[in-house]
């Protein structure tokens, strides 16, 4: 379990800087990196500190490593090709090209130049997860068409969501009620009502991503990792929450303070 939790927690912290995954209207990749890069680095440090405090403080010499069984054979040529394509994709992001276009071209290059049998790749696809995402977006789309967005706008006026601190808290709570991707889809309609939409988009991206660390259901990525880890360790809701609560509170506080200061 200890080896799985750092992977989950660090993924959410690192995702705050992945502008290609959290596309924001009117905000370029370099702008996104400038504002949320420090949040990602600070979040990774806070993740490490909480894990060390809860698990390894005073017990460093008791940690034992186990020999690797059935180590994966690394295809160095394929690894170098993937690294080169990833570097070019990152360069395209920094150069200001459209992130979806750059990412699609990079994926196409890897697909065209593949050496592995496609059937082996298809066997690794989690088709159940794809169906889950389809259902997720259908439900959120139905909620929007049913007028849920109008109700959110009314609540926004009542609870002063234009205050960045309040918006951070509401985003974090909603992300753990319906998961962070649907939360963003629902809250994006509020951003245009802010006096500074630029700051609101950054807060929405930061809070929805970091809030995914609070519970297993806070992020689809958490569900995937925990489900895959069941063969080696069972992670209960409260096992995760025990670590997710302090990590989420600390990283959200740091992210909100940083964005409030830099703006």
Domain ranges of the chain: 4-55+127-262
Q: What is the DSSP letter of 55?
A: I
Long-range (24+ apart) CB contacts under 8 A made by 123-131 are 126/224, 129/220, 129/224
Banded pLDDT at 255 (limits 50, 70, 90) = very high
For residue 16, what pLDDT is reported? Answer: 59
Do 186 and 174 touch, CB atoms closer than 8 A? yes
CB burial of residue 143 (10 Å; 0-12, 13-18, 19+): middle
Instruction: Supply 94's token pair.
Output: 């920094």
For residue 21, what pLDDT is reported? Answer: 47
CB burial of residue 225 (10 Å; 0-12, 13-18, 19+): middle
Q: pLDDT (tens digit, 9 = 90+) per residue, 202-235?
A: 999 899 888 888 888 787 778 877 777 777 777 7
Do 182 and 188 touch, CB atoms closer than 8 A? no
Q: pLDDT (tens digit, 9 = 90+) per residue, 15-66?
A: 655 544 455 666 778 888 888 889 988 988 988 888 888 877 665 555 555 5
Query: Average pLDDT, whole number, for the chain?
Result: 79
């Amino acid at each position: 379990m200890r080896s799985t939790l750092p992977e989950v927690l660090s993924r959410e912290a690192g995702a705050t800087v992945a502008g290609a995954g959290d596309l924001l209207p009117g905000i370029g990749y370099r702008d996104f990196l400038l504002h949320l890069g420090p949040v990602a680095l600070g979040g990774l440090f806070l993740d490490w500190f909480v894990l060390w405090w809860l698990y390894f403080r005073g017990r460093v010499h008791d940690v034992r490593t186990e020999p690797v069984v059935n180590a994966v054979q690394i295809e160095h040529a394929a690894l170098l090709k993937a690294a080169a394509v990833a570097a070019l994709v990152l360069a395209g992001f920094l150069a200001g090209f459209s992130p979806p276009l750059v990412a699609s071209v990079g994926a196409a290059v890897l697909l065209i130049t593949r050496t592995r049998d496609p059937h082996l790749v298809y066997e690794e696809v989690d088709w159940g997860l794809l169906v889950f995402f389809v259902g997720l977006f259908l439900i959120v789309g139905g909620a929007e068409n049913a007028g849920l967005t109008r109700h959110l706008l009314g609540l926004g006026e009542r609870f002063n969501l234009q205050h960045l601190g309040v918006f951070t808290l509401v985003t974090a709570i909603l992300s753990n009620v319906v998961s962070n991707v649907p939360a963003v889809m629902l809250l994006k309609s509020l951003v245009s009502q802010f006096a500074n939409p630029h700051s609101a988009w950054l807060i929405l991206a930061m809070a929805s991503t970091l809030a995914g660390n609070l519970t297993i259901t806070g992020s689809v990525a958490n569900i995937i990792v925990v489900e895959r880890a069941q063969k080696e360790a069972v992670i209960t809701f409260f096992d995760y929450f025990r670590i997710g609560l302090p990590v989420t509170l600390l990283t959200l506080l740091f992210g909100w303070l940083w964005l409030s200061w830099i703006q």
